[in-house]
Every structure is written in structure tokens, then in C-alpha cells.
Amino acid sequence: LCAAWQALVQKSLNNDGTCTPSPDGVGQCEDGIGDSSSSNGTTQAQWLGLLLNELTKISCTTFSQSASLATSTVELYSCPQSTASSINSVDFTSWQPEEHCTRLQNVAPATDTRGAVSFSGSLQVAADSTCARPVPFESAQAILDEEVAKLRVASSHLSEKDARRQVSTTDRVVNCYCKQQEAETGIASFRSPPFDKTPAKRLCRQWILSKLERVGLLIVGVLAITVLNEILVLTLDFFVKWERHDTRTSMTYSQFMKLFAAQFVNTGLIVLLVNSNWHGTFSNIPIVSLFRFGEGSYDDLEADWFVAVGSGVCLTVLIQIFSATIPGILWSKFAHPVMLSFYS
């Protein structure tokens, strides 16, 4: 399966971009390996490029190298179509892939020195999920344009704005680029209008708007939960009085236990159930499908969960603390003394 994409290799790249592969090998050229070495062989090769006939998703590859010069780590890059289309006009002796392409996860080829050639079997090709490596503007822009074009071809009714919003929030490379620019510029400056002030903000416009929308929904959700909790206090206070307790202590304890259970479910448990993803495990249970539990975006307590869900829970608890204590303090320290002065 790893060799299936090799048939799509159009040519390998050397210092002038004219090298073509031999019929029986990928990365082998009629005049040598396609790389960044100089034509007279005085510069050591730093990279090998493969130009494909069509846009292809590669999930694995094989790697062979001279045993005497074997390296244990190889950096992989994915270059946009716009870079490949101008391949013959680029000076590869000075061209650096990290400035134009998206870096993937490193692979660790075999370094067996018992033979002349060290051959590695299937090596996984995967995107960098940590966003730790810088994403060039050129690469992010090219991927955004290509993915938007593909979406609009697949769905003719989809507007460019909606397509850019979808790609900006789902594509890992564009998402990483915008996160890195936000960290470099500052969250307040990067998310503030105007959104066409810099090329980075123009590219990340829909990403920024989606983040602002998420923050807005978070605030609305927190306020809604806080209001519901206050309604619970009044409702439970009314029903507890009907229990006809003999002492104030027993009535307060009953109210406290009921309020704790209700607010725990409303503030924490429901939020957790709604945002969790069970991959359809309990979808045959009527109450689960009715309230759409387990249809959220998170199947684990990962970093994004703490940003999107955990922060909302913390903010709700914080507001609840102040909303439950501040009114009593204001009443006892200010409102009550004022009323006594008027009616005494």
C-alpha cells in the first residue's frame, strides 16, 4: 500500500528542477538523486523533493539510505500545489522547505550498518498535531485556497465565506498557523478588528470570528446556567417549606442537600454529557437520544476540552460563588442599615 502513491511521482527535484526519475525507482534521477546539492557536488544534499502528478494524501512511505551515511531522523514536509507549479523557476540551492512548506512528524528510518544499504519498511506519514513547528504563511494560504476550492466544487451551493469558515476551523495546518500568529501577536490584538490589517489576520479572519463566536456562546451559556441555579434556589426554598421541618437547622440542611444535587447536575454533569462523544455506544437508549447526550465533540479530556468546556465550568462556578455571597453582604452591610434608619 505504501508503494501505491509512487506511481504518481512525476519527477524528483535537483538544484535546477529538471531531474526526472528513472523507470525503476522513486527519487532516482538519470543524473543522480534529486536534492539541494550543487551541480558540481561540492555542497552536501540537504533535502530530497518529489513532485506528484496530482494532489495525493500520503499516509506511509519507505526509505533507503547508504549504510555508511545513515541518519536516524528525517524531517518530512508537505508542500502546497502553488509551490510545485513554479518548481522550474526556483533556485533549489538556496530554497528551504521550512520556509515554504508544512512540516510533518519526523520519521525514524533504519540505520542498519551490516550491509551497503539500510532499508526501512513502512514508515507512517502524519501531520504535526502539536503545532510546535512554525507554519509558513505561504503554505497556510495555499492550503486554505486549495481546500476552499475543493469544498465549493463538491458543494456548489456553499458560499466562499462558509467554505473558508469550515476550512479555517477544521484544517490542522491553517488552525496551527492562526494559533501561532495569535500567540506571537497577542490574543487581544489578533482578535480585534479590523481583520484586514495584516495578511495573517486576513487569512485567519474566519478562524478569529469562529473563536469570538465560541466565546460569546460560552458567556451566554454561563449566564444561562447561573440564572437557572438562582431559580433553583427560589424553587427549592418554596418546596422545602412544605416539608414542615421542626427546626431551622433541619430545614436549612434539607435545602442545602437538594440545592447541591440540583446545581451539581445543572452545572457539571449535564455540561459533561452534552459535550462528550460516545461514538453511538448508547444511542439505542431513548433518554440518551432524546437529550442528545454523547453527541458532542470530545471523547477524552484533552487540551481543547479544557479550553472550550472546562473554562466554562470554572467561570460558572466563579460567578456562582459571587452571586451567592455578594447579595447577602450588600444587604447586611448597606441595604439593611439604610432601611433601619428610615423605619426606626
The residue behind cell 441555579 is 229
Nearest to 148 by CA among 137, 161, 163: 163
Strand partners, 13: 49
Nearest to 10 by CA among 49, 50, 56, 47: 50
SS3 119: strand
In DSSP notation, 187-211 reads HHHHTSSPTTSSHHHHHTHHHHHHH
Average pLDDT over residues 252-263: 89
| Residue-wise pLDDT tens digits, 121-177 | 788 887 776 777 788 888 888 888 888 888 888 888 888 888 898 888 888 888 888
Residue 11: DSSP 8-state: E
Q: pTM of the predicted model, to two decimals?
A: 0.60
Rounded Cα distance between 344 and 338, Å, is: 10
Confidence of residue 38 (pLDDT cuts 50, 70, 90): very low
Residue 279 in grid coordinates: 461514538
SS3 322: helix
Rounded Cα distance between 197 and 176, Å, is: 20
Confidence of residue 30 (pLDDT cuts 50, 70, 90): very low
